[in-house]
Amino acid sequence: GKFGLGNYSSRKHISISVPSSTEVMSPHIKSVEELRVLGINLNSFNTPTQFFICVAGVFLFYLIYGYLQELIFSVEGFKPFGWYLTLVQFGFYSLFGLVELQLTQDKRR
């Protein structure tokens, strides 16, 4: 045609395949059926209860982390070292992340 659209009868076919759940899982996850958090088996709970237990755990540990960080800054003479503490935390988080990647051989992001 006039606008370079060519022949309308030629169609291109697109194929979409969905991988199975075992192909998508990270290599260090043994099965989808087993859910352990801090060594506690949560399989006896239904899915919404498992979710709320995990959410509560995240908030609990975040509150403990915040309390301990405030406790550190209440130490006499430590206030000027806030940025240094942030740098050290970032360094350790990066190091632990790299170690975890090496241990699990999971190179996906």
Helices (H), the chain: 21-24, 47-73, 82-104
pLDDT per residue of the chain (109 residues) written in tens, 0 to 9: 555 555 555 567 676 766 665 555 565 555 556 777 888 888 888 889 999 999 999 999 999 999 998 888 888 888 788 888 889 999 999 999 999 888 877 566 6
The CA-to-CA distance between both ends of the chain, in Å, stands at 45
Q: What Å distances lie between residue 20 and 25, 31, 66, 107, CA to CA?
A: 9, 13, 40, 19
To the question of pTM greater than 0.85 for the whole model, the response is no
3-state secondary structure of 79: helix
